[in-house]
Amino acid sequence: MAFTPARIMLRSKYLPCRCLLLMIAVLSLLVACGNPSTPASTGATAQAHAQEIVFYNWAADMPQSVLDAFTKEYGVKIKYETYNDMEELSRNILAGKSYDVVVVANEHVPALVAEQRLAPIDFRNIPNFKNISANFRDLVYDQRNKHTVPYHWGTEALVVRDDLTGGQVTKWADLWNPRYAGKIGTRALPRDLVGIALLSLGYDFNSEQPEELEAAAQRLIELKPSLVFVDVSADSVVPKLLSGEIQILIGWAEDALDAQAQSQSISHVLPEEGAILWGDNFAIPAASPNKATAELFINFLLRPDISAQIVNEKLYATPNEAAMSFVQASLRDNPVIFPPNERIKNAHLMLALSSDGEKIYDSIWQRFMATGE
């Protein structure tokens, strides 16, 4: 599958004097102008493999078969620890807890780098980085990929029971329709929900304008009685859709595909105001005592067959260009996983916030969660 992104010019709050590109066909990530570069190495290590490394990731995000294959090939055990959201991951890394490989969302990378909590990556230990599409290298949140390796990406949109909603759900603002009260499923994702409230009001998804955020706070509080909080795992939330306990899910590709495989009444709606684009990355915490083995593990995950295995089992898009020929054709050609340009031309990237912005968003979330207690 060829990667032929459409491009939209944007300006980054972190690089005010440089042009940036929005790569939309593959992930729509902000990229510094110029040719994507290959990461510089800092010197390969000759450290012996550790007997065990700790992998910190979303629950049920990595196939156990992949972890077992790495252990079988290298004799290194993987201790798989999980978090429920990025805030939990950031808190634990900042607290100095020991992990060897972590999965970090794009927008959380700059803060962890600023706090010197992510180790520079020696790419001579990760030759399979060459498999990553140029569209995913040298991105604005980690130029020259000094601290991260792209893992996977996708959209956050609406998964809808058309037979129960009458097929009338087309935009984020529809979530505020009283007919769906108590029937909307969502994970407890602060940035996502505040951003959705902003979009429903016609504001920028990453707005830091106090008056716009106050309006979004009131809008989100208004929505709370309609929301049903669900677990991260698609296995636990899809049955709620199929039973009719919820009629709409603010969800991901895996949710939609799992539900569609069991019901013809499920549609995947990219809202008119624009879907949310997300991306995750592998990183090595600075406190890791097993950096060389962590890099060995990341290199293994970038092998085309292994990367494709993750797509085939977990149903998320990969930035690994070499893996595409190993991805099942039904998935490779599925617009839910790999949406075409025209379907995400108005999608929104989740950008890192300023420290003041973080405080405002956190305050909104605390108010929202306290409502009705």
Write the pLDDT tens digit of every residue in 306-338: 999 999 998 899 999 999 999 999 999 999 999
Residue 139 is predicted with a pLDDT of 86
Tell me the pLDDT tens digit for each residue of 269-290: 999 999 999 999 999 999 999 9
Tell me the pLDDT tens digit for each residue of 121-142: 999 999 999 999 998 898 889 9
Residue 38 is predicted with a pLDDT of 59
Instruction: Kindly tell me the sign of the dihedral angle through the C-alpha atoms of 120, 60, 339, 174.
Output: negative
**Cβ-contact 268, 96 below 8 angstroms:** no
Residue 39 is predicted with a pLDDT of 65
What is the average pLDDT across 6-26?
A: 32
What is the average pLDDT across 12-27?
A: 35
Is a pLDDT exceeding 90 seen at residue 232? no
Residue 312 is predicted with a pLDDT of 94
pLDDT band at residue 30, thresholds of 50, 70 and 90? very low
Question: In this structure, how many other beta carbons lie within 10 angstroms of the beta carbon of residue 195?
Answer: 24
Tell me if residue 27 falls in helix, strand or coil: coil
- Provide the CA 97 distance to its chain's centre, in angstroms: 22
Tell me the pLDDT tens digit for each residue of 332-355: 999 999 998 889 989 998 889 999
Higher pLDDT, 173 or 343: 173
Is a pLDDT exceeding 60 seen at residue 45? no
Is a pLDDT exceeding 60 seen at residue 172? yes
Residue 85 is predicted with a pLDDT of 86
Which pair of structure tokens corresponds to residue 340?
């075409």
Summary mean pLDDT of the chain? 88
What is the average pLDDT across 176-183?
A: 97
pLDDT band at residue 7, thresholds of 50, 70 and 90? very low
CB-based contacts of 360: which residues, under 8 Å, 6+ apart? 208, 210, 213
The pair phi, psi for residue 370, each rounded to 5°, is -80, -20
Residue 339 is predicted with a pLDDT of 93
Is a pLDDT exceeding 50 seen at residue 2? no
CB-based contacts of 243: which residues, under 8 Å, 6+ apart? none
What is the average pLDDT across 166-195?
A: 96
Question: In this structure, how many other beta carbons lie within 10 angstroms of the beta carbon of residue 246?
Answer: 23
Residue 37 is predicted with a pLDDT of 52
Question: In this structure, how many other beta carbons lie within 10 angstroms of the beta carbon of residue 38?
Answer: 15
Residues 24, 279: Cα–Cα separation, whole Å: 13
Residues 261, 285: Cα–Cα separation, whole Å: 38
